Homo-oligomer: A and B are copies of this chain.
Amino acid sequence: MPEKPEKAGTETTAGTETAAATAEERPRRRQARGERRITQLLEAAAAVFSTTGYTAASTNAIAREAGVSPGTLYQFFPNKEAIAIELGSRLMHEMRQSYDEVLTPADPAATSLEEVITGAVDRFIEFNGRHPAFFALMHGPDIPGRIAEEHDALHTTLVARVETLVAPFVPDAPAPAVTRTARMCVGIYKAGLELILAHEGAEREAYIQELKEALLRYLRPLTGASCVDTP
């Protein structure tokens, strides 16, 4: 949702609840052109963020990339942070949809670990390849606090989802242990993703396979399999 540019001065922050209620969502008349500009600016921001990171990206550069003036940019976004927040929100929304599809099999008991891992890995890799800005925004050390919060929320949801997938395999394990396992899974995935994105072609495929193997080997002992030394 695009933020309304809030002019500083007359009505600051919370407090005037009554006044805010009346003017909080003024409908825009020229929505078509504006909405187009917003997505255009967001695409430009994604391009700049993914190449330079958040802090190093200048709003002038984003405007230039979008082919508009700095003033136009600030017609639609109150400040630089709002651009990142809006972009992050859209990406996270799409991301959430992605893993809602992939990590929620119809019948958990009838789906093998291999299938879930393969599906999830493939889906997330495709997503990150399509939206390189996602990685830049989520893993930059300099992101504004608001994005970090939203990303934490997303991350928490993701971990929770993995927990529900893992939990049935270890009915006796205490909750914290399940959480640790889920977090470790996400961590391994992220590590593998970095390796995957750093390579191309056949080598990339090999790393994808390696990541799936790693996750499988990490989780398989939970399924009741046991290992024996056969020297």
Binding site for B on A (CB under 8 A): 53, 55-56, 136, 139-142, 176-177, 180-181, 183-184, 187-188, 190-192, 194-195, 203, 206-207, 210-211, 214, 217-218, 220-221, 223-231
Contacts and interface: CB of A to CB of B under 8 A. Distances in A.
B181 A210 contact: yes
Given A55-B55, A139-B141, A177-B206, 13 more contacts: A140-B141, A180-B210, A184-B195, A187-B188, A188-B214, A214-B218, A217-B218, A223-B229, A224-B231, A226-B227, A226-B228, A227-B227, A227-B228
Contact of A195 (B183, B195, B218, B221): B183
Contacts of A141: 53, 136, 139-141
Contacts of A227: 220-221, 225-228
A224 B214 contact: no
A187 B192 contact: yes
A229 B211 CA distance: 22
Contacts of A203: 176
A223 B190 CA distance: 26
Contact of A142 (B142, B191, B230): B142
B225 A225 contact: no
Given A191-B188, A191-B190, A227-B227, A56 B214 contact: no
Contact of A217 (B136, B217, B223, B228): B217
A228 B224 CA distance: 9
Contacts of A181: 210
Given A142-B55, A225-B228, A187 B191 contact: yes
Contacts of A224: 229-231
A60 to B, nearest CB: 13
